[in-house]
Structures are given as structure tokens and as C-alpha cells.
Amino acid sequence: MNRPYPPIIPHMKDWPVYKVAREVDAFKQELKQSAFEALMEKNPGKIKDVMAQCAYLENKRVSQIPWKVDPVTEKSFWSNVHLQLTSGGDCTSEEQCEAVLRKIVNRYSEEIVGDFKPDTYIFADRFLSWFFNRIFSSYLKGSVFNFFGKKKALYNKLRLKGYVDEARALFRHGTVVMVPTHQSNLDSILVGYILGQIMGLPAFSYGAGLNLYNYEILAYYMNRLGAYKLDRRKKNAIYHETLFTFLKLSVQKNVNNLFFPAGGRVRDGRIEQNLKLGLLSALIQAQKSNCEAGIEQKIFVVPVIMNYHFVLEAHPLIVDHLAKTGKEKFRNRKKSNSVTLWRLIRYAVGIFTKSSDFVLSVGKPLDVLGNEVLADGTSVDSEGKKIDICDYFKLEGEFKPDYQRESIYSKRLGEAVAASYQRHCVVLSSHFVAYLAYQMYKKKYGSDSVFSLISTGLHEFELTMDELLPSAIKFHKHLEDMMAKQLIYLDDDLSLSTEMLLHTGVKKLGVIHLKKPLKWTNHQTLLCRDIKLLYYYANRLRGFGFEEVIK
């Protein structure tokens, strides 16, 4: 039984995210002023140029990629800003230009900041228990009329591995920031549910893509559950500085945060390695500010790895990836991706009648410089020696700004998080069989890439058990050796015999898709009817050097 942990902070009124929400207007004013001051300090004599670039990009965004969630005044606002900055506009003096900058910062601040409502959180907990129970457990084992499902059954499907106790302990010593991998639009609510209901942690302030707010019901709940909005269409310095300042202030107020450092969902199924450093650098600046102010509160970064047997959006994600990377080598032969009533019905039936599970792996906690952290919050270097990270922000014994030095720290933190993703990844039975089968199909059909497999024009790819089993045994043994050396995590299914593992992995792989990536025929022939989807799931183990093992 996967038992939930007791709450670290039992009373919701004591949660940091709730305390800030009660003073949200004051927080917004502090954000607006801090972001304004940072922009003025970083752009002396150039702020008009920065605003002009911002207005240009925003007018371009409004005309080329509008979203339903955009305010009705969006076009008029940015057109007006552009007019104020052009010759003959209002921005002719320093004071007038500052007023225009404040208008822009205020607009971004109001968009970014969310809220937290206890009643909504309690309702969401009950609803999500039902929702995830329906996805990860079989409908045939319960009743659809039992609307809220059974939490005990759900907890057995949502499993934890890794440094859970160490991450929990750090809440007594500072602010904890979770940085998960990102595969699905389900990630935000799923990881939030597990952290709160199974790990016993207080609610987090979390970043959610503004595109999700196009759906009114999602917008209503996310606005009231501590979410702050991220709009990846906005590429200008003023927006980035406002978002950067929001995260910095939030963390300094001890609000536990969660964001995806890879940015958007990974398109090809791989574990992220090239992370975006903007929000990670905000954590470094927040820690630096705490050190300068003599505040002992530390900021801890905890990598979190999401491990699915299926990803709801896998097919459109991999098609999008192949179209962008393959260009003329890839042509999606499917005539229509339109959503029909019959397709929706089949998809809904899949959710309610299939069974799967999910593993959340918690990596070893880090400080903002990428050093490992002990359960008491002490940072240690690669040799295990205790260090004071505040010393890293000093020059000749004094705190001095050094943007080049701190950009190196950001890169170092990003590399440490990416390494943790790979080190604490959990190999599921579905990952095992997808990777193995894809590599064997390439070998059998004489292909060197997914594009060459697609170009064969075959609608089906076949492997017999006799062809598959020798390489499967070798691969299985290699993974067990890696686990013995503590180089990787293996899920419980990997303790099965190799032949049973192959059947279990195929059964769980992409269980919810209308057309599964792999299927056994007569238990002896492994059939693939969607090589693109198989490639997506196989990529989960890409980058570990397993190709040579299978060869």
C-alpha cells in the first residue's frame, strides 16, 4: 500500500501561498515597483528603445498569434503604446517615458499574478481524486456512480520513488522549489495533486501556460489554486523581467514554487537536457538577496521526474516534432486529425476502461548553485564537505553584483537539474519494450532513423519473439547492473522474467491511445502499426547509451 504522508503544515491558514494570497494587492504593488526599478537600473538611457522593441513584438503577436484568453483591449493597448513611443507621441521626456513603462509593467503584473482560495482547493482535491482514479484505475473495478472514487486505490496507482523524506525535511529549513520534467498538459495538476495529497506538502505556487486559460473552466480553477501565468509568445525584455521579479519576490516570501524549467512540453518524448535558465536564475538572485539581507532562509531546488506509461498528447506532439525536424523528409500521411464524435467516444471509453499507473521520482535536493543538500539543509560540495553558499556571492569579502558570474551559476544549476533528471529517471516496463522494439525494427528493416522507417511505406512492422528475446535478455541484464550501481531506477515490473516483462510492457504502453503503438499477435509476433508513436515512447531512454547494448 502506497500510504500518504502526514501534512507538514496541517492548517491551511499557515501555508505561505495562502498568506501571500490574503495580501495579494500589496504583493502586486511590490511586484510592479520592483520590476520597474530593475528595468530602469538594467537599461540606463535605453529604456525607450526597450519599450519600442516590446511594442513592436507585442503588436506582431496580437496580429499573428491571438488567443481567446487575450483581453479585448489587447490590440488597442499595444497600438497606443506604439503611438506614444513614436515621433510626436507622449514619450518626449524621462517622466513621460517612465509613465509608459509603468503602464506596461502594471499590465504584465496583473496578468501574471494568480490567487489562492481554500474552498476551491478543497473541491479540487475531491474532484481530482475522482478524475485520476478514472484515468489510472479500471472502471470495471469500481462504480462510475461513486463520483469521488476511492483514494486508497488511486494512491496505489500514483507511486513515489527517490528522495521523498529528504525533500519533506527541507520545508523546516527554507523554501522548496520543485522543477519537474514536462510531457503532458496533465503534469501541473497531477504533480500538484501528488505533492499535496500523497507527499503531504502545502500548496505550491506553480507556473501554468496562458494557453490553458483559453478554456474557461480551467482558467477559473487555476486562477484560484495558486497558479501564475506564463505566456511563451511574449519574447520581450519587459515581460521577462516582470516574470523574473515575480518569481524572485514570491520565493523570498517563502512561497514554495513549482515550474517546468524546460519551458513547454517536450515534443519528442526525451528527458529534457537543454533547460531554459531564466526562471532558474531568479532563484539565484533571490538567494543572493537573502544573503545580502542577512536572512538565513535558504532556497532548495528539487528535481522531479514524471514517468508515464502513456501521454495523452503523444501523437500530436511527435508529429509536430517530426514535421519541424524532418521538413522535406517527413510528410504526415494521415488525411485528417479532426476531432469527430466517434473519436471522442472511443477516447472516453479508453479512459474509463483501461488501467495504468504513474511513478513520480524525486531527485536529490540541490541548492541554487547545483550543490547537493542534506536533510538538514546543509550544502555540500562534490567531496561531501559543508559549504556556505553566501560566500559564492562575495568578492573580496563583500557582496557585489557580478552578472557574468551569476550567469555561470545559472548554467551550473541547469546542468545539475538535467543530470538529476537522467540519474533519477524510472525505467518503466513500457519504456523498456518501446526502446527495445524500436531499435530492433531499425536493425531488421535496415533503417538508420525514424524517417527512413516511415519512408518504407509499410503500415506494419513485425518482430518475432525469437528475434526479440536474446536482445531483450541482454538489455534487461544491463539495466539491472546499472540499478545495482545506483545509476538508474527500475520500476517493480523490471523484476519480472524477461519474457513476462515484454508482455507486461506491451500491455501498458500507450494504453489509452485509440491505436496502441505495439500489439502481440498469438503471443509470438510483436506488431507495430504506428512507428511514429513508438518512436515517441522509445525516446524516453534515448541518450543513455543503450544503442550499443542492444547491438
Secondary structure (DSSP) of 466-532? HHHHHHHHHHHHHHHHHHHTTSSEE-GGGGS-HHHHHHHHHHHTTTTSSS-SEEEETTTEEEES-HH
Residues contacting 428, CB < 8 A, separation 6+: 307, 308, 309, 359, 491, 493, 505, 508
Cell of 496: 519480472
For the cut 60, the answer to whether the pLDDT of residue 340 exceeds it is no
Distance CA(139)–CA(125), nearest Å, equals 20
Distance CA(460)–CA(160), nearest Å, equals 37
Residues of the chain with pLDDT > 70, as a percent, come to 92
Cell of 279: 526562471
- Strand partners of residue 162: 362
Cell of 329: 523528409
Distance CA(253)–CA(243), nearest Å, equals 16
What SS3 state is found at 426? strand
Hey, what domains does the chain have and what are their CATH numbers? 16-112 (no CATH), 159-308+357-423 (3.40.1130), 426-550 (no CATH)
Residues contacting 198, CB < 8 A, separation 6+: 2, 4, 5, 155, 158, 160
Write out the H or E segment, with its range, that includes residue 220: helix 216-223
For the cut 80, the answer to whether the pLDDT of residue 402 exceeds it is yes
For the cut 50, the answer to whether the pLDDT of residue 337 exceeds it is no
Tens digit of each residue's pLDDT (9 = 90 or more) over 483-520: 999 999 999 999 999 999 999 999 999 888 878 899 99
CB 39 within 8 A of CB 101: yes
Please provide the size of the chain in residues: 551
| 11-15, 514-518, 524-528: the lowest-pLDDT one | 514-518
> Strand 461-464's sheet: what is its strand order?
461-464, 525-528, 518-521
What's the distance, Cα to Cα, between the start and end of the chain in Å? Answer: 39
* DSSP alpha helix (H) spans, 43-193: 47-64, 74-85, 94-112, 118-136, 151-157, 164-169, 187-193
**Distance, CA of 338 to chain centre:** 27
- Strand partners of residue 158: 358
CB 236 within 8 A of CB 49: no
> In this structure, what is the dihedral angle of CA atoms 47, 52, 58, 63, given to the nearest 10 degrees?
170
pLDDT bin (cut points 50, 70, 90) of residue 222 is confident
For the cut 80, the answer to whether the pLDDT of residue 328 exceeds it is no
Distance CA(228)–CA(206), nearest Å, equals 6
Tens digit of each residue's pLDDT (9 = 90 or more) over 275-298: 999 899 999 999 999 999 998 889
Tens digit of each residue's pLDDT (9 = 90 or more) over 97-144: 999 999 999 999 999 999 999 898 888 888 877 777 776 765 444 444
Distance CA(434)–CA(184), nearest Å, equals 19
* Predicted local confidence at residue 7, as pLDDT: 93
Tens digit of each residue's pLDDT (9 = 90 or more) over 42-97: 999 899 999 999 999 999 999 999 999 999 999 999 999 999 998 767 787 888 99
Cell of 426: 524510472
What SS3 state is found at 233? coil
Distance CA(69)–CA(294), nearest Å, equals 42
* Predicted local confidence at residue 140, as pLDDT: 43
For the cut 80, the answer to whether the pLDDT of residue 348 exceeds it is no
Tens digit of each residue's pLDDT (9 = 90 or more) over 229-281: 999 999 999 999 999 999 999 999 999 999 999 988 899 999 999 899 989 99
Tens digit of each residue's pLDDT (9 = 90 or more) over 139-173: 444 444 444 446 667 777 888 999 999 999 999 99
* Predicted local confidence at residue 35, as pLDDT: 97
> How big is the chain by its Cα radius of gyration, in Å?
25
Checking 232-235 for CB contacts under 8 A at 24+ apart, the result is 232/263, 232/264, 233/61, 233/65, 233/67, 234/57, 234/58, 234/61, 234/108, 235/57
Distance CA(393)–CA(377), nearest Å, equals 18
CB 412 within 8 A of CB 370: yes
Secondary structure (DSSP) of 45-77? TTHHHHHHHHHHHHHHHHHHS--TTS-TTHHHH
pLDDT bin (cut points 50, 70, 90) of residue 2 is low
Three-class secondary structure assignment of 374-399:
CCCCCEECCCCCEECHHHHHEECCEE
Write out the H or E segment, with its range, that includes residue 298: strand 298-308
| Neighbour count for residue 244 (Cβ, 10 Å) | 18
Tens digit of each residue's pLDDT (9 = 90 or more) over 81-94: 999 998 767 787 88
Checking 322-327 for CB contacts under 8 A at 24+ apart, the result is 322/450, 322/451, 322/532, 324/267, 325/268, 326/451
pLDDT bin (cut points 50, 70, 90) of residue 218 is confident
